[in-house]
């Protein structure tokens, strides 16, 4: 009976399954000419040939766990087998081979066996089996006989006499079925910076699982996936209206390879803001080749990759998907997002493009919610809808509705939203986003960066290359600014991003990374309750801080006469030192939050005035404050928010600050969407309606840039409706000397609520330089901003449709080379 290797988890379309096996020596030989004893001796020449029928070799790959110099495969192996075993041509043609050079004695063989479950041949086998069982057999294991792996061992002794052995090993692929339908609820939080795919099993109401969708390693640590797609190759469709096929990576890996392929970043960009009929295509440049692909393909491919991540980790596919989107999405973008997710699902599950039915969109994506509403809903659900007394209690407690402030301090940014939740009748909850704001530069990375700056400065001071580090925390910011160059000279961590191969740049990059990890570790310890000061320590688990200090010292040079241990002992960091650097930015977020509260509450009062509704005796106030996001663990944030003088302008703020469990600090947006889907599907006697009004209005100010007279003039104000009335005029001056037009590109910037600085938003690009009076307006039919001369037939004469501005990719501080 042949030796049996069982490969589990072979489920169609769930990615590559890799298993490692150890085959004992006695199972590798037949014991006739070559015995177990003879392979344990040194041989003059000994080879093992592993043969797998080609029809299986398309999706099964067998590779020995040894140096690549010790074995050969592919054509090289085939040629070798032809000469060594003198196998007939048809045998050579029908099999795949791996030839292992085994001169040294061996007693076992370690092999990796990969099964590509996405391969059409494997899928065809499974589908064929399924089709026999009809539709009910979609997830039934297929009865497939084991695949025969033939093992030939050929030895040539000192007298050049050959001896050989031939055995077969059975590879049993299990369970060889199609994916089952996931019994729980699935949501994708499609964010501008990162995207999360969250699952919740049907029977565990409070359990949520984040899928490491960009990883194909079983048991990978789950975290949201960076909203970035890198396309490395494109194959046009084989049939009319078929899918383009892409090779691509998503997430942080997409940013790793800085040269290869075509990078697309951000939810908005992925869904392409260009909507004109003549711009239904996206340009992708791969090397010297310019490809024109359907405009929605990047988003579709990104989401299908996310879904394939779920297929890999859960071996099941969602029945339907709730999707969240940035609160800045417009109605048309939401519609496009729904369609894109539905198509991505169709693509990921192997459907043909021509079979995609638009009418299925609502079934696949029954729910799209903006992220602020989703997070608010999650907490409303957790604290009220399933909390003590449930909905009747909520109505009793908040007869005039509840105002919730969400303060979400994430990795890169802090987002603020003020949401109103109102129970209308016993079974109806209305959720309205009253306003949103945010601080684009403050988050966990900023805090780590300040720790990094302190460590770097203290190291430099130890090296006596900078003035003494100030003892008064109040002077630290000034000290760091004044001595920035000297500090970097003593502890070089800035580098030129383009210098990939330069040794000095490499060394600096490594020093930055080491110091950053040390900063992260110290920040986490400083965030613990009651801790006022930390020093690098040894650690039983994970990477030791002392070790990191040693590594950095090795790269940047040790202070005179000091061993790494002395340096670790000499460096300490206090909360006070860090707080003075972080406070100004926290205070900014509070300022933005207070502005948001004031404007929203005033608007509620004005609304009563306007409609003539009798205002309730209750003064409109924020009733609950939810501080979420991983970075909010840093205690200073809470301290500042609660500060009576400079904190949140929320009366009784300590009473109104909600308890947020550690596991709820992250991913509340995706959880909200999952819960909403659960509520929709399960009859929970409560209906939720979402505010869609904000989708009809500009979420930011639009300001002019690079226009002849424009400084930071506001062209369109936040809150204005997307309509044909959204129009502004600008005079574009010709060159002062020549009088000739010189301006060909005009950029508009956007300024988010609370921000003082605008960021590039859209670009109007004319075919030739222009001058004169131009109109910039929102075109309802194109659903885009357009610009054209302000004269008769100006639109027909020359029209530029706003293109999304290409943003440089977001790089985490240690990757930026600037810290």
**Which residues of this protein are in contact with other proteins, per CB under 8 A?**
388-393, 395-399, 424-428, 609-613, 617-619, 621, 623, 644, 649, 651-652, 655, 685-687, 792-793, 795
Least Å distance, CB 295 to other proteins, is 22
Q: Which of residues 168 and 681 has its CB atom nearest to other proteins in the complex?
A: 681
Q: Which of residues 105 and 399 has its CB atom nearest to other proteins in the complex?
A: 399
Q: Which of residues 49 and 600 has its CB atom nearest to other proteins in the complex?
A: 600
Q: Which of residues 69 and 792 has its CB atom nearest to other proteins in the complex?
A: 792
Q: Which of residues 585 and 623 has its CB atom nearest to other proteins in the complex?
A: 623
* Residue (of 327, 357, 316) closest to 339 by Cα position: 357
Pull the structure tokens for residue 79.
Answer: 């040629």
Least Å distance, CB 647 to other proteins, is 10
Least Å distance, CB 330 to other proteins, is 17
Pull the structure tokens for residue 42.
Answer: 């040194």
Least Å distance, CB 620 to other proteins, is 9
Q: CA-CA distance, 730 to 711, in Å (whole number)?
A: 12
Q: Which of residues 569 and 643 has its CB atom nearest to other proteins in the complex?
A: 643
Q: Which of residues 395 and 523 has its CB atom nearest to other proteins in the complex?
A: 395
Go through 494-514 and write b for each residue having 16 or more CB atoms within 10 A of its CB, e for each that does not.
bbeeeeeeeeebebbbbbbbb
Least Å distance, CB 621 to other proteins, is 6
Q: Which of residues 371 and 383 has its CB atom nearest to other proteins in the complex?
A: 383
Pull the structure tokens for residue 771.
Answer: 């001058």
CB half-sphere exposure, 65, CA atoms < 13 A: 13
How many residues in the chain? 819
Least Å distance, CB 183 to other proteins, is 24
Least Å distance, CB 2 to other proteins, is 60
Q: What angle do CA 106, 112, 114 make, to 5 degrees?
A: 155
Q: Which of residues 432 and 508 has its CB atom nearest to other proteins in the complex?
A: 432
CB half-sphere exposure, 215, CA atoms < 13 A: 14
| DSSP alpha helix (H) spans, 612-703 | 635-641, 653-656, 668-681
Judge whether 477 and 453 are in contact, CB under 8 Å: no
Look-up: residue for tokens 């930015």? 585
Q: Which of residues 357 and 724 has its CB atom nearest to other proteins in the complex?
A: 724
Query: Residue 547's Cα: distance from chain center in Å?
Result: 30
Q: CA-CA distance, 512 to 555, in Å (whole number)?
A: 10
Least Å distance, CB 708 to other proteins, is 24
Q: Which of residues 9 and 783 has its CB atom nearest to other proteins in the complex?
A: 783
Q: CA-CA distance, 428 to 430, in Å (whole number)?
A: 7
Neighbours of 407 (CB within 10 A): 24
Q: CA-CA distance, 626 to 369, in Å (whole number)?
A: 19
Neighbours of 202 (CB within 10 A): 12
Can you give 270-333 as a three-state secondary structure string? HCCCCCCHHHCEEEEEECCEEEEEECCHHHHHHHHHHHHHHHHHHCEECCCEEEEECCCCCHHH
Q: Which of residues 30 and 430 has its CB atom nearest to other proteins in the complex?
A: 430
Q: Which of residues 218 and 399 has its CB atom nearest to other proteins in the complex?
A: 399
Least Å distance, CB 205 to other proteins, is 16
Can you give 340-404 as a three-state secondary structure string? HHHHHHHHHCCCCHHHCCHHHHHHHCCEEEEHHHHHHHHHHHHHHHCCCCHHHHHHHHCCCCEEE
Please, which residues have CB within 8 angstroms of residue 472's CB and are 6 or more apart in sequence?
Answer: none
Judge whether 767 and 814 are in contact, CB under 8 Å: no
């Amino acid at each position: 009976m042949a030796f049996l290797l069982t490969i589990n988890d072979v489920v169609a379309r769930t990615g590559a399954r890799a298993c490692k096996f150890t085959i004992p020596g006695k199972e590798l030989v037949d014991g006739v000419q070559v015995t177990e004893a003879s392979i344990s001796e040194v041989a003059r020449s000994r080879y093992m040939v592993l043969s797998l029928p080609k029809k299986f070799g398309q999706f099964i790959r067998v590779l020995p766990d040894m140096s690549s110099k010790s074995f050969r495969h592919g054509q090289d192996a085939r040629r070798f087998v032809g000469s060594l075993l003198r196998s007939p041509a048809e045998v050579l043609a029908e099999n795949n081979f791996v030839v292992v050079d085994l001169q040294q004695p061996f007693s076992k063989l370690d092999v990796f066996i990969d099964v590509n479950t996405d391969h059409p041949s494997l899928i065809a086998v499974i589908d064929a089996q399924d089709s026999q069982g009809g539709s009910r057999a979609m997830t039934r294991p297929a009865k497939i006989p084991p695949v025969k792996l033939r093992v030939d061992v050929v030895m040539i002794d000192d007298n050049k006499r050959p001896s050989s052995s031939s055995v077969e090993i059975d590879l049993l692929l299990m369970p060889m079925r199609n994916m089952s339908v996931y019994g729980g609820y699935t949501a994708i939080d499609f964010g501008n910076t990162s995207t999360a795919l969250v699952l919740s099993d049907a029977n565990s109401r409070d359990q949520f699982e984040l899928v490491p969708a960009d990883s194909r390693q079983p048991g990978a640590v789950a975290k949201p996936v960076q909203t970035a797609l890198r396309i490395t190759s494109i194959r046009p469709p084989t049939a009319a209206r078929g899918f383009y096929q892409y090779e691509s990576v998503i997430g942080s890996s997409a940013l790793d390879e800085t040269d290869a392929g075509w990078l697309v970043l951000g939810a908005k960009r992925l869904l392409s803001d260009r909507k004109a009929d003549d711009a239904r295509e996206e340009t992708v440049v791969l090397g010297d080749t310019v490809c024109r692909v359907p405009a929605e393909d990047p988003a579709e491919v990104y989401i299908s990759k996310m879904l394939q991540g779920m297929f890999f980790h859960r071996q099941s596919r969602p029945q339907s998907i709730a999707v969240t989107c940035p609160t800045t999405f417009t109605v048309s973008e939401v519609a496009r997002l729904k369609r894109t997710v539905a198509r991505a699902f169709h693509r990921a599950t192997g459907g043909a493009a021509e079979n995609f039915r638009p009418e299925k969109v609502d079934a696949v994506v029954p729910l799209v919610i903006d992220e602020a509403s989703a997070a608010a809903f999650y907490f409303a659900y957790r604290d009220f809808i399933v909390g003590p007394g449930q909905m009747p209690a909520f109505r009793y407690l908040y007869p005039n509705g509840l105002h919730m402030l969400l303060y979400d301090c994430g990795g890169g940014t802090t987002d603020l939203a003020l949401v109103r939740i109102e129970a209308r009748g016993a079974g109806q909850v209305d959720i309205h986003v009253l306003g949103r704001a945010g601080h684009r530069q403050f988050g966990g990375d900023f805090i780590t960066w300040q720790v990094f700056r302190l460590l770097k400065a203290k190291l430099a001071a130890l090296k006596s290359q900078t003035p003494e580090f100030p003892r008064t925390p109040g002077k630290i910011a000034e000290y760091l600014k004044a001595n920035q160059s000297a500090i970097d000279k003593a502890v070089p961590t800035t580098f030129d991003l383009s210098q990939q191969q330069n040794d000095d740049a490499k060394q600096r990059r490594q020093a930055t990374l080491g110091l950053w990890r040390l900063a992260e570790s110290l920040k986490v310890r400083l965030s613990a309750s009651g801790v006022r000061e930390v020093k690098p320590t040894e650690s039983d688990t994970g990477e030791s801080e002392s070790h990191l200090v040693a590594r950095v010292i090795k790269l940047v040079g040790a202070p005179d006469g000091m061993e790494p241990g002395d340096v670790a002992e000499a460096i300490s960091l206090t909360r006070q030192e860090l707080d003075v650097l972080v406070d100004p930015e926290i205070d900014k977020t509070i300022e933005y939050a207070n502005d948001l509260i004031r404007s929203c509450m005033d608007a509620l009062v004005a609304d009563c005035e306007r409609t003539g509704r009798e205002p309730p005796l209750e003064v409109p106030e924020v009733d609950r404050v939810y501080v979420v996001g991983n970075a909010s663990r840093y205690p200073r944030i809470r301290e500042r928010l609660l500060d009576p003088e400079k904190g949140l302008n929320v009366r009784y703020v300590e009473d109104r600050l909600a308890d947020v469990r550690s596991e709820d600090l992250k991913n509340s947006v995706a959880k909200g969407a999952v819960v909403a889907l659960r509520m929709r599907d399960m009859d929970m006697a409560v209906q939720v309606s979402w505010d869609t009004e904000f989708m009809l209005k500009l979420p930011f100010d639009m300001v002019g840039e690079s226009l002849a007279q424009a400084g930071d003039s506001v062209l369109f104000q936040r809150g204005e409706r997307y309509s044909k009335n959204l129009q502004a005029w600008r005079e574009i001056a010709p060159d002062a000397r020549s009088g000739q037009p010189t301006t060909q590109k005009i950029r508009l910037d956007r300024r988010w609520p609370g921000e003082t600085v605008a960021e590039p938003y859209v670009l109007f690009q004319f075919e030739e330089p222009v001058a004169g009076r131009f109109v910039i307006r929102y075109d309802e039919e194109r659903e885009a901003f357009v610009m054209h001369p302000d004269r008769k037939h100006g639109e027909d004469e020359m029209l530029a449709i706003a293109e999304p501005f290409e943003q440089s990719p977001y790089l985490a501080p240690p990757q930026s080379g600037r810290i």
